[in-house]
Amino acid sequence: MNPELTIVIPAKNEEKLIGTLLESVVRQDYPRIRTTKIYVADAQSTDRTREIVQGFKEKLDIEVIEGGPVAVGRNNGAARARSEFVLFLDGDMDLGKKDTLRNAVEIAKRKKLDCVGAYVKCKNGNLFDNFLYGTNNFVQFLSKFVSPFATGMFMLFRKSAFDALGGFDTKTLFGEDYILSSKVPSKRFTVKGYVLTTNRRFKRIGYGNMIRMMFLNILHFRDKDYIASRDYKNYWD
């Protein structure tokens, strides 16, 4: 088992996309990728998610564990990790370039960082999708100087720092990634590279609702209690 890195992926009914994510993991040029333990925290999927994950056992050291709401799944995986770093990924994204993972680990080690995030691009998205993610990326860039903001799509955490901060808030349904990363000192945080995602959440909950959610969280970015109190269950359903 790789003592440097563990990967945790919360998932529920991701049969259409989790194979793409895992293939992008296989393609990474990170030298220890084949011995890196990967936990897929499955929240009682009713589709072929578990079957697809099991199909990667010959390529990756991967294991399905019990999940739940996304923060619970992430915490469950992190609790099993015995490595220096834990990388949290969402089940519907793609690591993109083959050096994404290696670069993130290298900069975390070289600069002694506690958290490394990544900017986000939308695969096959329209202009509006790209505008929304571009806004998100701009906020992430500014966050390096104000209050660190990493998205749950890609969060590389030093395990000791993650444990010291208490992990993800399991009562928060939208913004739990920001609440956790914002606790990291700015000098121990950065954003490196790009990962890819889809526009499925925009389509499911509507662009207007998504803009409202993002705007309110940006407006109240210093008020963690406000963010934690928002009921965004439909974001994950």
Q: How many other C-beta atoms can be found within 10 angstroms of the C-beta atom of residue 226? A: 14
Element (H, E) at 118: strand 115-122
What lies within 8 Å, CB to CB, of 131 at 6+ separation is none
Q: Has residue 215 got a pLDDT over 90?
A: no
Q: Has residue 234 got a pLDDT over 60?
A: no
Q: Which of 29, 23, 46 is nearest to 38 (CA)?
A: 23
pLDDT band at 202 (very low <50, low <70, confident <90, very high): low
| Structure confidence by residue, pLDDT tens digits, 80-125 | 999 999 999 999 999 999 999 999 999 999 999 999 999 999 888 7
212 in Cβ contact with 140 (< 8 Å)? no
DSSP letter, residue 163: H
pLDDT band at 236 (very low <50, low <70, confident <90, very high): very low
- Average model confidence (pLDDT) for the chain? 87
Domains in the chain with CATH codes: 5-235 (3.90.550.10)
Query: Residue with structure tokens 């390096």?
Result: 144
| Structure confidence by residue, pLDDT tens digits, 220-231 | 455 555 445 555
